[in-house]
Amino acid sequence: MPADARPAPIKLGTWPTPVEPAPRLAAAIGLAADALWIKRDDLTGLGGGGNKLRKLRYTGAQALAAGATALITTGAPQSNHARLTAAVAARLGLGCVLVLEGEQPGVLQGNLALDRLAGAELAWAAGPAPDRVRHEVERQARRVRDGGGVPYVIPFGGSSSFAALGYVDCGTELLAQVPGLDHVVVAFGSGGTMAGLVACLGADRVVGVDTGAVPDPRATLDELLDGMPGRHTPQDRLQIDGGQVGAGYATLARVPPRRCGWPPAPRASSSTPPTRRGRWPGWALSSPTGGSSRGTAPFSCTPAGCLGCSVIPGSRT
């Protein structure tokens, strides 16, 4: 999409999100007490909050520009991206279909209950076929068109080169809030969050901790960055740690939960669920810088799920 054809992001959420110190959590994972900060992207304001809202400001603008009447996206059953897509669709007066992997559970709990509360339709893609999710998305898009509507399909995790501009915005906020920050550590799922931060802060300051959501995170990130005008970064400069994937995406992290601050009450006001975002403390524990690291960590969670990214200012690696 040409730069001059890109719509302005829609006004969703509350910005900038705050940055808070986390001294006890820092000490628990071997950092200096003043080395760890949390970027509270759980406080974005809409639909339970979360980092996906930054990207949905851009994809939502594209959907409106295309005359969409319904948003369609994909994810795991407890996807935070799916939850926020449902909330954005409700705010914009659009329909919403969420194509979720696996079998429909007997009881809708967690994000599934919130999806339905926002008015989203849930479609399930079960079975072993590798393209089953894509086929179901295509079927749902045809159904919307057959009913006289205009579907707009948002990619997995809400990540595209255009949507990643939402995390260029985040990087700009961080530079104003934490002057001189050295490193940002972020969980790598669909890649848009890291792409935007790399585009703003540079590859030398951003570390991604792979969660196993995509087969080739480095290629995914490189493709996202290539689509951002003037933002190309050589692959060999991208910092992605693959040592915390464990059994894969949406499974418990390898680090013992209490070592990464879960349950969180004794450590910090935000929680670090060990299924996805909890992997970044595993990276911190295994990092060669250890307790000598200083850092700023945008890291965010809410009771509805883990919703954010992590940053470390001051580490010299």
As annotated, the active-site residues are 79
Region of residue 136 (left: phi > 0; alpha: psi -120 to 50; beta: else): alpha
**DSSP β-bridge partners for residue 130:** none
Torsional sign, CA 107, 110, 111, 115: positive
- Helix or strand or coil: residue 311? strand
CA distance 206 to 184: 5
φ, ψ (nearest 5 deg) of residue 190 = -85, -10
CA distance 99 to 86: 12
DSSP 8-class letter at 212: S
CA distance 231 to 224: 9
